[in-house]
Structure 1
């Protein structure tokens, strides 16, 4: 896995042209149509590259605050502009009056705009020598914002955004020095836009009450967020539900920003509305929390057919088995 992590999450500047020169890009498609196909997913190069990417970023943010110093490259700036465009479209597409409280149909109007513009948005992020990858990479962007038929959002959509970023690494648009900015700038901004989508259009959690997320919708910010706390001198897992800790430190830690959002959206005892997160308070160390969440993510998201049946495979995230 270590070799895969390096390949997927830390494209070297010298490697990029060689890595992309021989690729024939293709529009990604679904390959997991039955439960028995899950073994194909587990053995695929896509799974190895995806998990390698997640773990590489997990290591990169370990013990670091959101407010630490890091490089913000032109590609990262372009990704932030892309996300700002998605948010502007939300502002331009207000909810419509309808009998149903949830799943506002204005979301479909918003999504249709993205569906139409996704390729050009991605092309604006890529350089001239990699823009041929735009149709392939744009599919993951479109998959990352929820489902326009069901008007729902869940960890499969979140995974599509991670896949989108992973593909940008694989074509050399994002590089090893971008790792902190990928999480602290781009992914955090993505979370903010997704929260606005979810609240504006009253999107349903994908699955049964968000069963595959740690809160109703997300999982990855808790993995990377717990890694930020590893080695912290004073804040232990038992502290993250304390209002004082959340209010004082949420600007430094993704995990606490997530808890702040949950507290704003839900009422009642935390142990009742967010039981899985509450259980984390009993874990001895952030290192154990982080390791446990990675295992849980594999078992409860990446091993679940209802989630992975929607994952799409192309040339950059291939369904072919990993090379020995």
Structure 2
């Protein structure tokens, strides 16, 4: 399954500096306004490129620990600086004193700072000859941190951050040998900043399916995290519900780090507050978990109108049908 999709989609190695040579960048906009438009999305170059990117990274992290050795390029360092800036702004913007428990209004102050600075932050990451792409790519950065009206965050926002990284590959800022650092350094740092946002401003889960969703906020770290475990000699899916295993190994495995965060945020029996994850613990192998999560991601996130209606398309991720 993964192989065929990767050929039709784009991967960090064939990302198109050629395709962006002399191309005109554009500020991304919404194209999916009604349920029947979903067919257009599934046939689009954007869908193929996005899935190709997710699956390439899934393959790249297979069987590897977060703590393994890998190259950290200058662009990766710059992205970590960018995320460090977002983190610092949270410290500088304490929660407001307000009666309602959820959705702290100070988040809007934090977000307006990003809204003003996003283009400059992206410019600092891009190679000099790709500066023209900054307005297009900055849109995805702003989309990736939650919604400032509703003060919520969900898998659509997470997808926007993956799109942001995919665009950086497309313009040649990130390269094929950055794959491990993209997931283990950049995406992992993004997760820690998002968790801090969720905690600090008590953000609501966007479009939450409650106990029937995989997680209130994230999905991708479960996909890539399960790939890290493929062919692990001792840890099986049934082990991740054991708190001792989680505490011992969460620094090596993204999946366990997500479970640790859930355990910190929720009370009561795991089977009750995270039923879908509890069910996954009964799957016999990590490769089956990984394949199942990819199918679930497509069905529950990428093929759901409430998520995709917010997706924005530009020159780098195009609504145009995939070229045969």
**TM-score of the aligned structures, taking structure 1 as reference length:** 0.97
In the aligned structure 2, how far is the partner of 1:2 from the partner of 1:91? 40
Quote the residue 1:195 is aligned against. 195
Alignment check: 8 A CA contact 1:103 1:202 kept:
yes
Quote the residue 1:153 is aligned against. 153
In the aligned structure 2, how far is the partner of 1:23 from the partner of 1:291? 36
Quote the residue 1:251 is aligned against. 251
Matches within 5 A, 1:105-254: 105-209=105-209, 214-254=214-254
Deviations 1:188-237 (A, max 9, x none): 00000000000000000001355795211000000000000000011000
**TM-score of the aligned structures, taking structure 2 as reference length:** 0.97
Alignment check: 8 A CA contact 2:280 2:289 kept:
yes
Quote the residue 1:2 is aligned against. 6
In the aligned structure 2, how far is the partner of 1:212 from the partner of 1:36? 26
Alignment check: 8 A CA contact 1:229 1:286 kept:
yes
Would you identify which runs of 4 or more consecutive aligned residues in structure 1 move more than 2 Å? 1-5, 7-12, 208-213
Alignment check: 8 A CA contact 1:31 1:312 kept:
yes
Quote the residue 1:322 is aligned against. 322
Alignment check: 8 A CA contact 1:226 1:289 kept:
yes
C-alpha deviation, 1:165, in angstroms = 0.3
Give SS of 1:129's match. helix
Matches within 5 A, 1:242-321: 242-321=242-321
Give SS of 1:9's match. coil
Quote the residue 1:21 is aligned against. 21
Deviations 1:226-267 (A, max 9, x none): 000000011000011111111111010000000011111111
Name the Cα RMSD after superposition: 1.2
In the aligned structure 2, how far is the partner of 1:49 from the partner of 1:211? 31
In the aligned structure 2, how far is the partner of 1:86 from the partner of 1:131? 21
Unmatched 5+ stretches in structure 1: none
Unmatched 5+ stretches in structure 2: none
In the aligned structure 1, how far is the partner of 2:111 from the partner of 2:47? 27
Alignment check: 8 A CA contact 1:155 1:213 kept:
no
In the aligned structure 2, how far is the partner of 1:180 from the partner of 1:213? 28
C-alpha deviation, 1:67, in angstroms = 0.5
